[in-house]
Structures are given as structure tokens and as C-alpha cells.
């Protein structure tokens, strides 16, 4: 299906790996020109080359930390008037004991996963409303909606971000500008691999065995972790021309772990 967004311009923050990379690729396959950011220069440049050579769109890599003023200025200078803004980051650390989360961890996570997307939204949303077209998507976490001690550092800031985007969605819907969120559960990404490989090393098991234990412990009905390609496709759906009447929404992608009627 043609999503009707060929020729649009997008900023994807956190796009050199995982779900951000897959969102960038999905948008590029629809003909969207990209500015992609990440802190690690070599990786973001390589991903930009790969996406550009596969899809033929323009992909500008920006090595920058999007949680800093300097990093944000660098990214916005490369694309001052985006049609599409997608925000993601590396998952915040797990917190088996909430008592061990100190203020430094809270402030750092708030900067990266809540204030950074809010500041980007503030920087681009007026331009979108003036141009009467805009799509903003945050890749957040299922823990924002279904709290879990282990993921409180990830869930709580994103619950606030989702609340914020919902409030803004009402204000700008009349200008064909939408704000939506994707809330993933467990997916195979670099973060998950690092965490579970460490457990496998400590337990004398394998990554696959640790995934199986996790699936059992958290009773994931799909019986597996997700594939970040699927998140990229859902982000792209939210960014499509045809999603203009869908705003302030948050989609859970967690293999059926948390189900509610509405």
C-alpha cells in the first residue's frame, strides 16, 4: 500500500539501531527523506548509507545526543522544518528494586526519554500547524500503561510523555497534525540482547533459554519476543497520509500480555 508520504521530510531521533532504525527504514521505503540521529557516529553513518542505498531517498546522519541542547540544535539545523518527527532512545536501565533508583538516574532518564521528545515537539509543531501537515510518533513502552517495578524508570517518564502528547493532540488536530505513541513490550534489540546475554553468562545458559524463561515468567501469549521490523511498520502507519484522523492514540505491541476491552 502506498502511504501517500513520498517526498516528506522526517527526523528520526535514535535511529541507528533497534526500533528507531526500523522506523527509519519503513519511512524511507515510502519515499520519505530522512535526518537520522544517534550518539555513535560510525553506526549512524553506516545505517544512513545502508538505508540510502536500499531505498534511494536522502538520508542525512547526525551524530548527536538528543538529550542535550547542543545535540538538539545540531539535529534541527539539519532539518529545521520536518513533516514527521519520530522519537526514541535506548531503553532506560532495569530496576529490580525501586529503592536503588537514585535522583541522578531519574534526572538522566527524564532528560533522555521525556524532556528530549517534548523539546523536539515544541521546536517543530508550530511549523507543522502552519504547513497544515504533521505526524509525530514516540516509541515509548508498554510499562507506561501497565506499571512494573522492573521497568518503572522506563514507564513513569513515558506515561508523562504520553499524557503530554494526548493533550497537544487535541489542540493541533484541526491543522492535520497528529501525535501518537507506540508502546512496545519485549523485542529482540541490542538492549535486550545485552541484558539477556549477561543473564545467560551468569546462569550458564543461552540467550534463547533466557528468552524462553522471560516469556514464561511474564506469560507472553505470543510465546516469543517481538521483531522491531513490526514496530517500524506501525510507526510508518501512524505517519501515513491516511492516519490524519487518528491522533492522541497509544498502541500496545506486547504479544498479547496486557489486554483490556478498550
Ligand X SMILES: NC(=O)c1ccc[n+]([C@@H]2O[C@H](COP(=O)([O-])OP(=O)(O)OC[C@H]3O[C@@H](n4cnc5c(N)ncnc54)[C@H](OP(=O)(O)O)[C@@H]3O)[C@@H](O)[C@H]2O)c1
Report, in angstroms and rounded to the nearest whole number, the Rg of the chain calculated over CA atoms. Answer: 18
- Give min distance, CB of 48 to ligand X, in A: 12
Residues 81-100, interacting with ligand X (CB under 6 A): 88-91
Residues 105-164, interacting with ligand X (CB under 6 A): 112, 139-141, 154
Structure-block grid coordinates of residue 47: 545505517
E strand or H helix at 33, and its extent?
strand 33-38
- Give min distance, CB of 4 to ligand X, in A: 26
Whether the CB-CB separation of 133 and 173 falls below 8 Å is answered with no
E strand or H helix at 26, and its extent?
helix 18-29
- Give min distance, CB of 212 to ligand X, in A: 15
Q: Which residue in the set 14, 82, 155, 255 belongs to the binding site for ligand X (CB under 6 A)?
A: 14
Q: Which residue in the set 10, 186, 200, 235 belongs to the binding site for ligand X (CB under 6 A)?
A: 186
Quote the CA–CA distance of 179 and 196 in Å, as a whole number.
Answer: 33
- Told to check if 17 binds ligand X by CB under 6 A, we report yes
E strand or H helix at 135, and its extent?
strand 134-139
Residue nearest to ligand X (CB): 18
- Told to check if 38 binds ligand X by CB under 6 A, we report yes
**Who contacts 178 (Cβ-Cβ below 8 Å, separation ≥6)?**
134, 135, 136, 169, 172, 238, 243, 244, 246, 247, 248
Residues 43-62, interacting with ligand X (CB under 6 A): 43
What is the three-class DSSP state of 201? Answer: helix
Q: Which stretch binds ligand X (CB under 6 A): 13-21, 50-58, 208-216, 238-246?
A: 13-21
Q: Which stretch binds ligand X (CB under 6 A): 95-103, 161-169, 190-198, 234-242?
A: 190-198
- Give min distance, CB of 166 to ligand X, in A: 18
Quote the CA–CA distance of 25 and 229 in Å, as a whole number.
Answer: 9
Comparing C-alpha atoms, which of 9, 56, 50, 11 is closest to residue 29? 56
Q: Which residue in the set 20, 117, 155, 157 belongs to the binding site for ligand X (CB under 6 A)?
A: 20
> By C-beta, is 61 or 134 nearer to ligand X?
61
Q: Which residues contact ligand X by CB under 6 A?
A: 13-20, 37-40, 43, 65-67, 88-91, 112, 139-141, 154, 184, 186-187, 189-192, 228
Amino acid at each position: 500500500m502506498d502511504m501517500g508520504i513520498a517526498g516528506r521530510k522526517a527526523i528520526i531521533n535514535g535511529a541507528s539501531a533497534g526500533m528507531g532504525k526500523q522506523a527509519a527504514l519503513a519511512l524511507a521505503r515510502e519515499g520519505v527523506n530522512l535526518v537520522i540521529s544517534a550518539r555513535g557516529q560510525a553506526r549512524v553513518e553506516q545505517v544512513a548509507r545502508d538505508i540510502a542505498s536500499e531505498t534511494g531517498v536522502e538520508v542525512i546522519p547526525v551524530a548527536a545526543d538528543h538529550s542535550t541542547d547542543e545535540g538538539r540544535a545540531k539535529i534541527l539545523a539539519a532539518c529545521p522544518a520536518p513533516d514527521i518527527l519520530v522519537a526514541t532512545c535506548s531503553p532506560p536501565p532495569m530496576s529490580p528494586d525501586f529503592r536503588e533508583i537514585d535522583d541522578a538516574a531519574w534526572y538522566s532518564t527524564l532528560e533522555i526519554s521525556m524532556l528530549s521528545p517534548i523539546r523536539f515537539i515544541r521546536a517543530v509543531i508550530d511549523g507543522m500547524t502552519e504547513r497544515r501537515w504533521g505526524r509525530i510518533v514516540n516509541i515509548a513502552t508498554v510499562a507506561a500503561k501497565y506499571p512494573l517495578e522492573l521497568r518503572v524508570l522506563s514507564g513513569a517518564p513515558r506515561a508523562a510523555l504520553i499524557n503530554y502528547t494526548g493533550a497537544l493532540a487535541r489542540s493541533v488536530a484541526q491543522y492535520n497534525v497528529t501525535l501518537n505513541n507506540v508502546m512496545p513490550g519485549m523485542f529482540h534489540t541490542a538492549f535486550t540482547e545485552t541484558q539477556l546475554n549477561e543473564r545467560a553468562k551468569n546462569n550458564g545458559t543461552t540467550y534463547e533459554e533466557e528468552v524462553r524463561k522471560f516469556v514464561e515468567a511474564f506469560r507472553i501469549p505470543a510465546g516469543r519476543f517481538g521483531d522491531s521490523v513490526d514496530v517500524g511498520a506501525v510507526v510508518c502507519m501512524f505517519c501515513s497520509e491516511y492516519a490524519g484522523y487518528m491522533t492522541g492514540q497509544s498502541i500496545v505491541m506486547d504479544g498479547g500480555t496486557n489486554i483490556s476491552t478498550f
